[in-house]
Structures are given as structure tokens and as C-alpha cells.
Amino acid sequence: MLIDGHGRVVNYLRVSVTQRCNFRCRYCMPSTPFNWTPKENLLSFEELFLFIKVCIDEGVNKIRITGGEPLLRKDLPKFISMIHEYKPDIDLAITTNGYMLKSYAKALKNAGLKRINMSLDTLKNDKARFMAQKSVLNEVLTGFEEALEVGLKVKLNTVALKGFNDDEILNLLEFAKFRGCQIRFIEYMENQHAKDELKGLKSDEILNIIAQKYNFTKAEKLPSAPASLYKLDDGYTFGIIDPHKHDFCKSCNRIRLSAEGFLIPCLYFEDAMSIKKAVQSGDILGASEILRQVLKNKPEKNKWEADATNVTSARAFYQTGG
């Protein structure tokens, strides 16, 4: 079992397989040119897998593959099947913008993937084009249907923004409900990369909109799960991820691995340690030692919380793996 320096059990690894993305969401990476070819110096799947095996052997039982857009990484299904075959009962999921799911859903399912989280901020073409700075909605919705068709369990993630999708909160909820998927509304996290004009809806504002049409009650959730859950009278459950209100740090169970091999104990790069040399030389003991060191260094509270009076984090989600 992995325990950090503050007594928290860490059983969840988030792996970013690329910083790149085919969208330019205004709240995430709005200004990066589309022809951006960063010298990413990515770890290979074999190198990432070596470290993942170390983590699994030490007690990690939940892994999420993310990015950037993870489906841009060539042969992602092969990587999924490497992990799945090593530990078939692991809770293995990906987070995707859905744009390429039409082509990949079946292969991902066959590789052993069971769950995906898919981002969906709007059901309107012009708004989706505005937010992603590219015409994306048709592909995203086709990808979503394909994922359901092949039997993947899908959760939807919606960043709730004033003047953008506050008029669609109920539509999005009903869209998800009708298809038997949980939707989680995410409070916008201010950061220095995002467009200045964006203003997020806070959890109470989202709940007020839903209360105009539905009764709901608070539902049980795992302490380590970031989303607060609410149940409608008919039993349908939706979630809200509200970092402005909740301190997730006390029950934090996760660490993050970047595509370049930085093991990140929290939302910031500063404390990260590189596993690159260890995995490139097949040094399992060395990798395991770095894992323990990073857990020891895991801060009690994240810096974003500490900066709450002046909430403009330097962190972009695509860098540490959102």
C-alpha cells in the first residue's frame, strides 16, 4: 500500500500521454498555434508501462489516461491493452474530448477499456466552434454515440461558464440523463493560460438552475471522489466538481505522471521528480524509490487553494494532465 507523508493512501495514478490537443478550448490552451510541435521528448509506452507496473505492484488500483488529448497519441489502444492484460481488474479509464472516438471506441473497448469521461460543454454547433476554436460538435456527438454503442460506460464533463452555457445546463443534464450517463458540471478553474473574459458558474449557481425544474437531494460519494453527487427524484445522479468550495486535499489519493516522465505529487510542477532515467535504463528499484520520494513530498494542500484570494494559477490542465 502507498501512503504519503501525511498519512493519505494513494491508489490513483493519472497518466498524461501527450500535452498536444486538436482543440483550443478557451479555458485550457486557447493561444497555442494549431501547428504547435513541442519538443515533448515523450516517454514511450513501454517506458510509461514499466512505471505503471511498479505503481500497480505497490497498490495503485485506479489509472486514468489523459492529456492533452490522449487519442492523439498513436496506438493508444495498444497501451490500454498492456495495462489491462497486466491487471485486468484495475479501474482503467480515459478522459477525452471525444473528437476521435468514432474511430477509436471499438479498439479501446477491445483493448479492455471500460470507462471514459468525455468533455461536452454545449449542444450547439456555433458555441462548440467558439469554445474549441474549431468546428467539433458533430464529431464529438458521433464519437459519444459510438462509445455507447460499443458498450463503454461514459461520464460527461461540462465546464460551466457564465454567458456561454448557463442557458444549457438543463439541456445538457437531460441529454445525459436520457442516455443513461452521469454528467458532472465542473467549476471553471481560473488560470493564466485561459482567456481573460471567461467567468465560471459556481456550484450554487448551477444547482439553482437545476432546481428551477427538478427536486434533488445530496447523494453519497466516496471521500476521495472530487464530484459532489446529487440525486433527482427519479434516481438519476449528477455531479458537481467545485474546487472553489471544497478542499479535496484532505482525501487526495492521486499522483500524476506527465508525458515527459515527471511524477507530480500535486497540481504543480515544482515538486515533480523525473522517472525518465530510471525507466529508460529499466531500473525498477530506482523507479520505486522515486515513487516513494514523491509520495513523501506530496504537499498537504495544493497551491491553488493556498492562492485562493488571488486565484490565477500558472497551471494549465493540459500540462499536468487534466
Instruction: Tell me the binding residues for S-adenosyl-L-methionine.
Output: 27, 68, 119, 189
Nearer to ligand SAM, 31 or 281 (CB): 31
* CB nearer ligand SF4, residue 99 or residue 248: 99
CA distances to 1, 3, 69, 98, 291 from 278, rounded to whole Å, are: 21, 22, 26, 33, 11
Name residues contacting ligand SF4, limited to 77-116 (CB under 6 A): 97
Burial 218-228 (b: 16+ CB within 10 A, else e): eeeeeebebbb
CA distance 113 to 105: 9
Contact string 69-98 vs ligand SAM (x = CB under 6 A): x-------------------------xxx-
Binding ligand SAM by CB under 6 A: which of 65, 159, 207, 229?
Answer: 159
Least gap, CB of 207 to ligand SF4 (angstroms) = 24
The residues, ordered by sequence, that sit 6+ positions from 69 with a Cβ below 8 Å of its Cβ are 18, 20, 21, 22, 23, 96, 97, 99, 100
Would you list the DSSP string of 124-189? -HHHHHHHHTS--HHHHHHHHHHHHHTT-EEEEEEEEBTTTTGGGHHHHHHHHHHTT-EEEEEE--
User: Which residue number, 23 or 164, has a Cβ lying nearer to ligand SF4?
Assistant: 23
Which segments are annotated as binding site for [4Fe-4S] cluster?
Answer: 21, 25, 28, 249, 252, 266
C-alpha cell, 166: 448557463
Q: Which does 243 bind (CB under 5 to 8 A by kind): ligand SF4, ligand SAM, none?
A: none
Contacts with ligand SF4, 260-299, as mask; x by CB under 6 A:
----------------------------------------
Answer yes or no: are the C-beta atoms of 257 and 15 closer than 8 Å: yes
Pick from 318, 319, 320, 321: which binds ligand SF4 (CB under 6 A)?
318
Instruction: Kindly tell me which residue out of 14, 50, 68, 111 binds ligand SF4, with binding defined by CB under 6 A.
Output: 68
Grid cell listed for 224: 476521495
The nearer residue to ligand SF4, 188 or 236, going by C-beta atoms, is 188
- Residue 184 has φ and ψ, to the nearest 5°, of -125, 120
Q: Which of 2, 13, 15, 28 binds ligand SF4 (CB under 6 A)?
A: 28
**Contacting residues toward ligand SF4, per CB under 6 A:** 21, 23-25, 28-29, 67-69, 97, 119, 317-318
